[in-house]
Homo-oligomer: A and B are copies of this chain.
């Protein structure tokens, strides 16, 4: 285990600034004294885009590559046309650093609100493919602005890309008590990509005979997520379906205020990036209203990725305890951060 962490910090836009500050506070508080934490802040996002027209340059990528990991707040602002920062920064980074395992755990903690009746038991993790599918940007438009316009989006799926993420998901399922893995796709309609996913899922499964598997269409998955969420243990799915079902998963398990994610490059060739699932929420930015828990939980994923398992668990326990004791009294972003920092230090 490395006894130093060299972290790239990207607060980004909107509430990103506020929640990242609390994430760093909790990180500092949880780390043992002998671990040297170095951080370098980067100014990516709307402001830099407006000032320079840049979203993420080759030089930026070279700089980011030097770090052990990246902590990101949120990217996106209404002043920038939809897609510019998402494609030009967030997706560009995920693709450049080959973040093919997009890890999104969902756990409904005791005392935490859910829109579902009857407080079901929710504890699953979605392994979303992060570098392929409909997210590659492959597509185009002809005759834009005319009645004869045609636009395409091409979903690219490779055996290489599918197999590595499916294998990762099997390994995660095998390491969990219930050892269950569901493949979510739409192989009755998207037969090319869907059958490639399904074939590889079945083939790799032969290496994991103790993992129980099921296949589910993405439309059916949204039904089960609200009617039988306790059914799920590990889910593996494509980039777009993963995007959709993890927002739903967040909504039913405490909301996006507590949904963490990791964009992981398992080989370690590139730094992995950790970020809350939520966006920049410009409507509440700068008001101290954002819940930093999702960012703090993303810091826990970051620590686990770097080998600091005990510290990761301490953060998760602190967030659990904090959530369990919430009584509806409003607290600021900073107050929640302080409370969590005190818990992990204590």
Contact = CB atoms under 8 A, between A and B. Distances in A.
Interface in A7-59: none
Contact of A150 (B143, B156, B218): B156
Given A116-B226, A186-B240, A187-B82, A155 B152 contact: yes
Contact of A158 (B139, B149, B191): B149
A183 to B, nearest CB: 12
A234 B220 CA distance: 22
Interface stretch (A172-180, A194-202, A266-274, A326-334): A194-202
A163 B147 contact: yes
20 contacts: A83-B194, A115-B226, A134-B153, A137-B191, A139-B191, A139-B192, A140-B192, A141-B195, A141-B196, A146-B159, A147-B160, A147-B163, A148-B159, A150-B157, A150-B159, A151-B195, A151-B196, A153-B192, A222-B251, A226-B226
Given A83-B191, A150-B157, 10 more contacts: A116-B116, A117-B118, A148-B160, A151-B196, A153-B192, A155-B155, A218-B244, A222-B244, A222-B245, A226-B226
A158 B153 CA distance: 12
Output the residue of A157, A190, A250 with the most chain B CB within 10 A: A190
Contacts of A160: 147-148
A155 B153 contact: yes
A189 B135 contact: yes
B159 A192 contact: no
A79 interface: no
A71 B63 CA distance: 61
A335 interface: no
A154 interface: yes
- Cβ-closest 5 pairs across A and B: A219-B247, A149-B159, A222-B248, A83-B191, A151-B196
Given A160-B147, A188-B76, A256 B223 contact: yes
A12 B176 CA distance: 41
B154 A153 contact: yes
State how many copies of this chain the complex holds: 2
A252 B240 contact: no
A83 to B, nearest CB: 4
Interface of A: 76, 82-83, 86-87, 91, 114-118, 134-135, 137, 139-141, 143-160, 163, 186-196, 198-199, 218-220, 222-223, 226-227, 240, 243-248, 250-252, 255-256
Contacts of A76: 188
Contacts of A155: 134, 139, 152-155
Given A83-B188, A116-B117, A163-B147, A193 B139 contact: yes
A188 B89 CA distance: 12
Contact of A226 (B145, B154, B251): B251
A190 B153 CA distance: 7
Contacts of A251: 222-223, 226-227
A244 B244 contact: yes
Nearest to A138: B152
Nearest to A197: B151
A75 to B, nearest CB: 10
A139 B186 CA distance: 14
Contact of A189 (B91, B186, B226, B246): B91
